[in-house]
């Protein structure tokens, strides 16, 4: 099967840093949605998080993410948003990817927290009209799956009790992050977030 006929999930995020919860969720979504691949789109500063001061450089987050996914079949890192104008809007990313891969079918993968704020996204209605969206659960965010538009699917999934914020906090406090990030990147994460 060529890239142009593949079903590709777009999992955008700062991945500051990527962790085992991201990867476990992506593995589940890959199977549950019948996707061929999931691209972890490492984002520059999120337009809704303009005050982030602890965001590692884009290229470093991309390298860490790529290394974490190197041995994960069907999962890969993408730096596409780093080449696009800023601020980084998902509509622009999806349009750009659709131009590069006109026969691929892209599915946007977002958490329930993002779905509840989706009407604030740039071109949110265009995304709903032109792309599939899969919404996964997030702790503390309830969504009404029955009220979702036809192009939006709610995917039941386990909740993963790992967060990038907690990883950064633990490193700053000198605590262990063992088991929170893939072993292949643990030393790198500890070095850059120290």
For the entire predicted model, the pTM comes to 0.94
DSSP-assigned letters across all residues of 8-55: EEEEEE--TT--HHHHHHHHHHHHHTT-SEEEEEE-SS-TT-TT--SP
Domains and CATH numbers, the chain: 3-193 (3.40.50.620)
φ, ψ dihedrals at 104, nearest 5°: -75, 155
Q: What is the pLDDT along the chain (194 residues), one digit of tens a residue?
A: 455 489 999 999 999 999 999 999 999 999 999 999 999 999 997 666 555 568 999 999 999 999 999 999 999 999 999 999 988 899 999 999 999 999 999 999 999 999 999 999 999 999 999 999 999 999 999 999 999 999 999 999 998 889 999 999 999 999 999 999 999 999 999 999 99
């Amino acid at each position: 099967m060529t890239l142009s006929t593949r079903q590709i999930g777009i999992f955008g995020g700062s991945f500051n840093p990527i962790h085992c919860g991201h990867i476990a969720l992506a593995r589940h979504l890959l199977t549950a949605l019948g996707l061929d691949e999931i691209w972890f789109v490492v984002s520059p500063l999120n337009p809704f998080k303009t005050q982030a001061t602890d965001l590692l450089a884009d290229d470093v987050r991309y390298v860490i993410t790529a290394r974490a996914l190197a041995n994960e079949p069907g999962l890969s890192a993408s730096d596409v948003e780093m080449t696009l104008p800023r601020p980084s809007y998902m509509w622009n990313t999806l349009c750009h990817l659709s131009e590069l891969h006109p026969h691929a079918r892209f599915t946007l993968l977002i958490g329930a927290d993002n779905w509840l704020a989706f009407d604030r996204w740039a071109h949110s209605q265009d995304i709903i009209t032109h792309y599939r969206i899969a919404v996964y659960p997030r702790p503390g965010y309830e969504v009404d799956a029955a009220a979702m538009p036809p192009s939006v699917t709610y995917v039941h999934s386990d909740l993963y009790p790992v967060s990038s914020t907690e990883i950064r906090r633990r490193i700053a406090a000198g605590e262990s992050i063992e088991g929170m990030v893939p072993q292949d990147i643990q030393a790198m994460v500890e070095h850059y977030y120290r």
